[in-house]
Structures are given as C-alpha cells and as structure tokens.
Chain A
C-alpha cells in the first residue's frame, strides 16, 4: 500500500472542503482523481503533498506520515502542478540541478536520465534559457522533466493533459507506464475522462468534498448499471443525481 488517505477532513480555512475522504493508491497503480471544478481534487492533492494539514484523519505514504518524518515523506513524492510553477531567476539547466540537489540524487546518473527526458520533450536545446519565458505547454514539459528526474515512489500529477501537444501527452503516458512497471504509484487528477478511462487502473470519483465512489471501471459499471458504459456517462449520471 503506497499511499493511504484515511478519513481526512480538511481545507484551506476552518471550513472543511473535504468531508471525510478515504482512498488508497497501491504500488504500481495509476489512480485517477475525477471530479468537477471545486469538487476538492486540488485540495486533496495539497493535503497529500503536505501543503495543507488535515483537521482530522491521516495520510500515510509507505508507512510514514509527514508528522513522523517530513523529509522521508517528501523524499518519496514528485509533484507536477496544474499551472507550471517556476523559479523566475533560474535557467532550465539550473531547475534540473536544483531538483537533483533537493532530492540528493547522483548528478551523473540524474543527468543521463535528464538528457533522455529533455530529448523526448524536445527541450534539449533550451538548457540555458529561462523557462519562465516559455509557452504554457513548454513550461509544463519542464515540470514533467523535473518530476520524472527523481526516483519518486509516488507521482502526483494535477491535470496533465491540458496545454500539452498530442505528442507530449503520448510521451507522458509512456513515461507513466514505465514508472508503473518499476513499481511507482501515480495519483492523477483530470477532466479528460476518455484518456483517464483508457489509462487509469482505478478511479476515485470526488463530488462536493466527498468520495462518491471508487473502483475499477468494471466495478463502477457494476455499481451503476443503468448509467452507461463509459466513465463519462457514469460520472455525468452521478453528478446529475445531485443536481436534480
């Protein structure tokens, strides 16, 4: 069990956004976090990466909570934010180096990985540029390269598909596949349901700060037989109940 979120109540202020959330991500598993705008996806992710502290409940990552040993907890996580976040004053090369230093990686080995990733995402000739001036898609690629540079056990990817070109989306999915085979877990939030349906092993459907349901696609289909075949149909039918 890589990531275990159990009975988490939390949010940005005293008013909880998340109301008793529980789910898990196993080793080598890709879990899709699905929900409407404001359903609590980003809040959940912020709790997992340690930006927010839960009011109640615990989040454990391979047996460690952030309170027990924050360094050991953070060492296992690589995070790709929804909006690219960059250091204005650092070049692309320096972003990679800071990542290597922060995660205490062996520089020679890390650079081998880095060069491969840079080539894949066609950034290899931009090492001395300031990524802060890149286009949104390219900034996102920088985030991807920085994250996949680390040997993290859990990758947290917030809405990866918007802004990336089709080639990059494909490359990202291949990367995710590869890390999964090596035993890493991935928690990914997205609105792009048909891609999620094809690649995720399991789904956690968030609605209004609660886990509506979770499971594999066939489990979801079995639970809601009249909803329809696709993830899209299931999700729409689930939110409709709430609207009427």
Chain B
C-alpha cells in the first residue's frame, strides 16, 4: 500500500512539475522577484517605524500564525475508483494514509518554518524576543501543524460517528489557544500544550482506527476539491484540461433570464445565456478580464492609451468567448432539435453583442471617471461601439461559419 502511494506520488509530482514549469516562466519569475523585493522593502520599512512594545503586536502574530497553521492540507491522492477497487483493502489503507500524511508534512511544515522565519524580525522588534523563544515558538508551531494533520487523518475514519474531529472550530480553536499561550505567557508553555495535544490525538487514533471504516465518499470529495484548487491556480497561467468548471445556480440572475421570451427563435439564446452565466468557466473569464480592464483603466491617463486598452480588452473577451458556440456540440439534442443552424448562430451573435456591450459600457464608465475629459470619453465610446459591432456582428458569424465548414 505504501508502494501504491509512492507510485501515485511520483505521477502527481510529475504532473505538478509540468505545470510549475509553465507557471514559472522567465517573465513570471522576473515579475515575482520584483514583487517579493518590493514586499521585503515595505516590510523592513514598517519594522523601522515600530518602537517596540506595541500592544497589538502579539495579536497580529497570533492572527498570522493561526492562519498559517491552517495552510497545508492532507493530500491523500485518493481517486474516485478507489472506493470500488480498494474497498476490500480497507485495513491496509491505513499504511497508505500514513504515507500520505508523511508526504503532506513536507510542504505544510516548510510553510510553518518559513512563516516563523519571516515573522522573527517582527517578534524581535516588537516583543524583544531573542533567538531562543523564537525557536521554541517554531517547535510549538510545527508540533501544532502535526496535530492538525493527524486530526485530518483521524477524520478520514468514522471514528466519532457523524462528528468530525477536524471541523474548523476545533482546528482554529486549538491553534488560537496554543499560540496565544506562546505569545502572551511563554513559548515553552505552547510547546508543552502542543505536545500534549499531539500525543492525545496519536493515542486516541491508535486505539480506534482498527475498528473504523474509512469515509470513502467524503475523502474522495475532499481530495477532488484539493486538486481542483490546485488546477484553478494553474489555470490562471495556462490551460488545464482537467478543469471543466462548476455550475452555480445563480438564482439572482433569473430576472434577467426571464427577459428572454420563450419562442422558437430564441431557443438557443435561452440555452446559451443560462449556460454562459451558470458555468463558471466562461462567466469567470468575462468577469476577471472586465475587472482587470477596469482596474487598469482607472490608473491610466492619456489621450490614446485608454482607448487602445479598452479596445484591447473587448477584443480579448470577445475572442475567448468564441469556443462557447461549440459548448453543446457533444449533446445529441443540439443536433436532434428541429432548430435551424442559422438560428443557433443568430442567438450566439445576440448573446455576444449583449455581453460585449455591457463590458464596453463598464470600461467606458471607468475611462470617463478616470480622465474626466470630453475627448477621450467620446473617442472611447465611438471606438468601442464600432468594435463591438464588428466583432459580434461581422467577425463572429464569419469565423464560426468557417470553422463549421472545416468540421464538416
């Protein structure tokens, strides 16, 4: 079973390495260095302004360390098929889960060490701590994280019936108590408390796991969510095929959807609009790009730069929406419904016009607000109107017709 985990871990690490290579390209590393440099400079400037013995300093440290203690989840690498194929091996899964916990320790504890390291100048300046108490706090933090990971592992089993040992009030409460003792009393107390908690969890888990079932469904869901989070992160930099997005009901949009009359001609507008808004993949893209565009335009002044930027963002959004036309090609009813292909294209063009118009208006408002001059406002409006018209009404149908011919 440890062998199984090792094989999976190798595959997992290979995959992560593949994505990390894509994320940390030259440009990004460059930007990141600048960002970290700036952040470091800011931090040292803040430290210089502190006079020591600030009453809020332990509170800040407590907050930071408590949050950091929650970073680093239990990575089980459990897959959906496991609940069928590994079910007969339930007892043997224990070794697998232990291996998973060991692996999870690496990243989790590295984070704790780095956090304490970064926080140590702050502790030295405000609380006047020397190296020894900082080291004790480090030990307390690491043991605490170990306890939290063990709680996660124990919760993989149905140890306490329906109750979970790793509910967030328990984890946050435990961290707050132990770290508060460390910061206000003395770090040694925190170390002792953390060790007591850790040993308690170990002993209690040892006594119980042999007689308990694994919560397969829940563990699979947790692991899926964990991977989804990682893929989402990578998806900001590159295409991730595993990510198809999730569906949100978004009831508050129902009012807008009701404006679409349920007639034969509107069949696809009805479908496309709901699909676009409720799926996170495309709606997220639109929102992200619009917000970034608005932020950029807010800070940028000038005669032509805002016009060019606004046009660029509309183009970017419009261009990335094109694949949505084929979103439902895999669904047989798209071909079976007696709706002419022309109608489908028309609906898509309408939707495209609507979305791009809303984005254009939002970007335009920011341009007007930021510049407060007549000329850029008018020019931007005219350029945007022309662009939306051309992109949605002329370019989109042409392009989609061509791609349809290529497919046939």
A residues bordering B, Cβ < 8 Å? 49-51, 70-75, 77, 79, 81, 85-91, 94, 97-104, 107, 130, 132
Contact = CB atoms under 8 A, between A and B. Distances in A.
B41 interface: no
Contacts of A85: 331-333
A107 B337 CA distance: 17
Interface string B269-309: 01100110011000000000000000000000000000000
B267 A87 contact: no
Interface stretch (B32-40, B125-133, B137-145, B258-266): B258-266
B189 to A, nearest CB: 50
Contact of A107 (B262, B267, B274, B335): B262
A89 B335 contact: no
B162 to A, nearest CB: 23
B92 interface: no
A99 B331 CA distance: 14
Interface centre among A71, A73, A88, A100 (most CB of B within 10 A): A88
Contact of A89 (B264, B279, B333, B338): B279
Interface string B313-340: 0000000000000001001110111111
B247 A104 contact: no
Given A97-B262, A100-B262, A101-B264, A90 B335 contact: no
Contacts of B266: 101
A49 B332 CA distance: 9
Contacts of B340: 70-71
B338 A74 contact: yes
A102 B335 contact: no
Indicate the member of B263, B274, B336 with the most A CB atoms within 10 Å.
B336
A70 B339 CA distance: 9
The 4 lowest CB-CB distance pairs between A and B, nearest first, are A74-B338, A102-B337, A104-B264, A75-B338
Nearest to B335: A51
Given A100-B262, A101-B262, A79 B336 contact: yes
Contact of B267 (A89, A91, A101): A101
A62 to B, nearest CB: 14
A71 B338 contact: yes
Contact of B339 (A51, A88, A102): A102
A102 B332 contact: no
A102 B336 CA distance: 10
A166 B278 CA distance: 35
A41 B115 CA distance: 63
Contact of B336 (A50, A86, A89): A50
A51 to B, nearest CB: 6
B313 to A, nearest CB: 26
Nearest to A81: B332
Interface in B356-389: none
A77 B336 contact: yes
Nearest to A49: B336
Contacts of A88: 247, 275, 279
B323 to A, nearest CB: 16
Contacts of B335: 49-51
8 contacts: A50-B335, A71-B339, A72-B338, A79-B332, A89-B278, A90-B274, A101-B264, A104-B264
Contact of B271 (A71, A98, A100): A98
A46 to B, nearest CB: 9
A97 B271 CA distance: 10
A174 B336 CA distance: 25
Given A103-B338, A104-B338, 12 more contacts: A51-B335, A77-B336, A87-B275, A88-B247, A90-B275, A94-B270, A97-B262, A98-B267, A101-B264, A101-B267, A102-B337, A102-B338
Contacts of A87: 271, 275, 328, 331
A101 B263 contact: yes
A71 B335 CA distance: 11
B247 A74 contact: no
A104 B267 CA distance: 9
Given A74-B336, A79-B332, A87-B331, A102 B267 contact: yes
A101 B335 CA distance: 15
A71 B331 CA distance: 18
Contacts of B328: 87
B267 A94 contact: no
Given A71-B338, A101-B263, A94 B331 contact: no
Contacts of A130: 247, 249
A183 B336 CA distance: 21
B107 to A, nearest CB: 33
A89 B332 contact: no
Nearest to A133: B247
B39 to A, nearest CB: 40
Contacts of B339: 71, 102
Contacts of A91: 249
Contacts of A90: 271, 274-275
A150 to B, nearest CB: 9
Contacts of A79: 332-333, 336
Contacts of B264: 101-102, 104
Contacts of A132: 247
A208 B333 CA distance: 28
Contacts of B337: 74, 99, 102-103
A129 to B, nearest CB: 10
Nearest to A107: B262
A214 B192 CA distance: 84
Nearest to A83: B332
